[in-house]
Structure 1
Amino acid sequence: MSSPATEVVRLLTVRGETVAVAESLTGGLVAAELTAVPGASKAFRGSVTAYATELKHELLGVDATLLAQRGAVDPQVAAQMAAGVRKALGADWGIATTGVAGPEPQDGQPVGTVFVALDGPFGPASGSAGGGKVEALRLNGHRAEIRMESVRSVLALLLRELASEQTGNERAQDTERNGGF
């Protein structure tokens, strides 16, 4: 069975679409996972590792007031990171990770609190013309385990969306071929 990163690259390539990555706690691991796939250049635009909170605002356009009030470990911050990197790097899809890998809590959030987000051209299958999706994770383990699980989770989020859109598009094509029935 192929890895989630391999499947993401394959589906994006087939669709002629691209992805960009905004990372905080994963520090480039998502980008590394994607670029390890042969042919990734067809689908991977690039990444921004905005580890420092102010870079989330300066490079990704995350609202400064939101960061000041909630800190960097927040679902809205994750959503804005995904939208920001998608726009900044000119990709069809943007994915993002932010959270606390440890060893200490951050912004009042316990170790293992992670938010992964997705922004993209959501089609009819998702019932939305745009906007993002965020998943809240509560992960256990040491720092490396939390970071790797965050990588797996954000790739799985994108993969589920691509697969559901693929299914939706195939249904739509079947309907067209069958005269609308």
Structure 2
Amino acid sequence: MVFQNPDNQIVQNVVEEDVGFGPENIGVPTKKIWERVEEALKKVGMLHERKSSPNHLSGGQKQRVAIAGILAMHPKCIVLDESTAMLDPVGRREVLDAVKTLNKEEHITILWITHYMEEVTEADKVIVMNKGEIVMEGKPKEIFAEVETLQKYHLDVPQVTLLAHELKKRGMTIPVGITSADELVDVIAKQLGK
């Protein structure tokens, strides 16, 4: 599991030692640990920082080190609990890109817990919960088609989805569930005959 604050799960003073901490605790032989550390740091784009102190890294870099520590244990699934909540936009993008790559290229299941709905626009499936109960479930397009319901649960609807929703309310023929600016531009351009 990767938590909201990476400082709460980084336990060593050198990046590569921190990434090797988990495999060591589950009994992976020393030689294999260092192979796993290198492999995990490569996968999250942090190999160049292997000898660095985590204290000198940005928030996004620390989260990628935390993810590498989980990867080094060869999981089939990674749970990320509000892991971008404390990051600036650059750090958030770094973490999202790393996780997306792990899912697509390494076929690792990602369970992403977030209040930032823009982060789930490319998910395979979205589950919206309120007070421990599932209130919505489906593909991102299905979920984002229900703007009022998302707002009722105080969720942050992507700006482009809100714009598409407003245009539809004002009479434009806009499909529901738009989640990207490119998608909205294409729809509007077709309507304008361009």
Q: Which category describes the TM-score, using the shorter chain as reference length?
A: under 0.3
State which structure, 1 or 2, has the greater radius of gyration over its C-alpha atoms.
2
- For CA contacts below 8 A with separation 6 or more, give which structure has more relative contact order: 1
The TM-score, its normalising length taken from structure 1, stands at 0.27
Structure number having the greater strand percentage: 1
The TM-score, its normalising length taken from structure 2, stands at 0.25
